Structure 1
Amino acid sequence: MADNWTEQCIPQQNGRLAVVTGANTGLGFETARMLAEHGAEVVLAVRDVEKGKRAAARIKGKVSVQALDLGSLASIRSAAAELRTSHQRIDLLINNAGVMYTPRKTTIDGFELQFGTNHLGHFAFTGLLLDRLLPVPGSRIITVSSIGHRMRAAIHFDDLQWERSYNRVAAYGQSKLANLLFTYELQRRLATTGTTLAVASHPGLSNTELVRHLPAPLRSLATLFAPLTTQTAEIGALPTLRAATDPAAKGGQYYGPGGWSEIRGYPKLVVSSRDSHDQATQRRLWKVSEELTGVTFPL
């Protein structure tokens, strides 16, 4: 595998359809842009359709916009139904959208916002679209996690929605750990199909809008030290793009920046936390996610 995997390493994607969540800005926009410029047809699945249209206008290639609010199971079901009607096959589903370090809020369905959006929303969206991926040779589901999956991260089955107490860092860590647990369990279930792969990625520290929910003092420090500690969204998107397009990628792998502490650098295979590989937790989270969302997978 290439040591310095860049945009130029992306194989041609002609004839492939990619659905990218949260694609109107930041990492999602750069992921969608590079896929489209390499020939893929790309669907920007976004909460704000007008912002999505403005983003689409900046991308060269065949691009469309799909309304999707990952904080609403009704919106997820509606978006999946519309995509199923308009597309008989999906080659790439990239679960990129996310929120980070938000104040205590809930989704429309009453889920804690970070867990509900980052994990449960993508769990449901994936399950509802999976039969459009399963028959497609080489199809992949990429879920974007974070180095935050190691930070105060655990799955609090006794209080998944943080109703007793709330810590924004720990809640984010739970949601990003859930992304990896989901990916690994999904890959184990997909292994018998022989077609679709589930792969995970993380962007390191990238300069995107996610930092907007940091407390003001931390946000100021993040801005001050950004040139030294972060990388652009264009570089931060590369681990996801490698997971999605590198012919050598395998199901259950995890890509992130190759530099010190995986903060920045060219994408390479990285290792997630020990907790993320606990199969009992993976299975339990899957069962709970099915119960909370009402979505079961055709596997």
Structure 2
Amino acid sequence: MAIADQIPTESGFPAKTDGADVIKGIDLAGKIAIVTGGYSGIGLETVRALVGAGVTVIVPARNREKAESNLAEVDGDVQVGDMDLGDIVSVRRFADAMVDQLDSLDLLINNAGIMACPEARVGPGWESQFGTNHMGHFALTVGLMPLLEKTPGARVVALSSTGHKRSDIQWDDIQFENTPYDKWDAYGQAKTANALFANALSRRLKAGGGLAFSVHPGGIFTPLQRHLSLEEQVELGWLNEDGSMSELAKMGFKTPAQGCSTTLWAATSPRLEGKPGVYCEDCDIAVPTDPQSPMSRFMGVEAYVCDDDAAERLWVISEKLLAEA
């Protein structure tokens, strides 16, 4: 794919559509899905909508007790597994168990993530946002490839973000070993990595008719903001000084139920057939960033996340990192 492929389909769904409405009328009964981070925020709403449509959903969780408690309210076939995206051994163990237990996997939704956290290391020393948001999901997806490859029409959705606009991949220092750590640059790099991952994965699923996409879910208040102070969120324009939601956030932010809609659209929409690897937002394919628009910071996709060569370069680097883990 290329930036020229970022052409909206005119899906007909407004940006603030509830996720359940996006999949209404689509036959998902009997499908099997894995949703990372599926026990809080938009992940929980993604699971709720899928289970309501007859999908069996498996939620890998770092905190099983919390996951089971949060998912107890979901009426349907939802199961919890043990996995920590920052622990590659646990990711491999979970993926191996799924390959042994399942005959197919229709949907893999790589939803979990961390944002703008203090500098930390995971795995063999990876910067934590790149290591968790990208490498953890890379390891999971690679481990599940035997299922994805044999399931006709399987789809993988990687949650990226408009944060990708903050940074391309820092090819010479991905792990911030020599560069001063900046939590937003690290987050931006990780979200760019998520989009490039979907680009490269789409080619690897093609033979079996599978597809992969990346999505920006929109601005939503969820536990993702847990590392941000009140002062930071006031400065960003999200909150007022008393902690209440700002007028800007009221206009632009979505509810968690609305925040899962682009994920579910990418996971199910027939309009995306033949459009592998595209980046989506607001229940449609995103347009290229218009640098002249005052909204360019908040919407649109940068050309560097649609670059096939960059996607393949990151895939090779990720394979090497995983082999060394």
Would the TM-score normalized by the shorter structure come out above 0.5?
Answer: yes
Residue 279 of structure 2 corresponds to residue 254 of structure 1: yes
Indicate conservation of the 8 Å contact 2:123/2:131, yes or no: no
Bigger Cα displacement from structure 2, 3-12 vs 103-112: 3-12
Residue 22 of structure 2 corresponds to residue 9 of structure 1: yes
Query: What are the Cα deviations for residues 158-193 of structure 1, in whole angstroms up to 9, with x where unaligned?
Result: 2111122100000000000011111111112322x0
CA distance in structure 2 between the aligned counterparts of 1:176 and 1:201, rounded to whole angstroms: 10
**Structure 1 segment 1-299 matched on structure 2, within 5 A:** 2-4=11-13, 6=17, 7-10=20-23, 11-151=26-166, 153-164=167-178, 165-191=180-206, 193-220=207-234, 221-224=237-240, 225=246, 226-250=249-273, 251-257=276-282, 267-271=283-287, 272-294=301-323
Secondary structure, counterpart of 1:82 in structure 2: helix
- Following superposition, the deviation at residue 87 of structure 1 comes to 1.2
- Following superposition, the deviation at residue 202 of structure 1 comes to 1.2
* Residue identity opposite 2:158 in structure 1: T
- Following superposition, the deviation at residue 147 of structure 1 comes to 0.4
Instruction: Count how many residue pairs are aligned between Structure 1 and Structure 2.
Output: 284
Indicate conservation of the 8 Å contact 1:242/1:255, yes or no: no
Change (3 A) 1:229 1:41: same
- Following superposition, the deviation at residue 248 of structure 1 comes to 1.9
- Following superposition, the deviation at residue 219 of structure 1 comes to 2.9
Indicate conservation of the 8 Å contact 2:217/2:259, yes or no: yes
* Residue identity opposite 1:148 in structure 2: G
- Following superposition, the deviation at residue 48 of structure 1 comes to 0.8
Indicate conservation of the 8 Å contact 1:207/1:232, yes or no: yes
CA distance in structure 2 between the aligned counterparts of 1:111 and 1:168, rounded to whole angstroms: 14
CA distance in structure 2 between the aligned counterparts of 1:9 and 1:274, rounded to whole angstroms: 27
Secondary structure, counterpart of 2:156 in structure 1: strand
CA distance in structure 1 between the aligned counterparts of 2:203 and 2:56, rounded to whole angstroms: 28
What 5-or-longer segments of structure 1 have no aligned partner?
A: 258-266
Query: What are the Cα deviations for residues 227-283 of structure 1, in whole angstroms up to 9, with x where unaligned?
Result: 2331111101100000001122232222212xxxxxxxxx22113211112222212
Change (3 A) 1:216 1:108: farther
CA distance in structure 1 between the aligned counterparts of 2:230 and 2:70, rounded to whole angstroms: 28
- Following superposition, the deviation at residue 124 of structure 1 comes to 0.8
**Structure 1 outlier segments of 4+, above 3 Å:** none
Q: TM-score normalised to the size of structure 1?
A: 0.91
Q: Which residue of structure 1 lines up, in the alignment, with residue 5 of structure 2?
A: none
RMSD of the alignment, in Å? 1.6
Change (3 A) 1:194 1:74: closer
Indicate conservation of the 8 Å contact 2:115/2:129, yes or no: yes
Percent of pairs with identical residues: 38
Bigger Cα displacement from structure 2, 275-284 vs 158-167: 275-284
Secondary structure, counterpart of 2:238 in structure 1: helix
Indicate conservation of the 8 Å contact 1:182/1:282, yes or no: yes
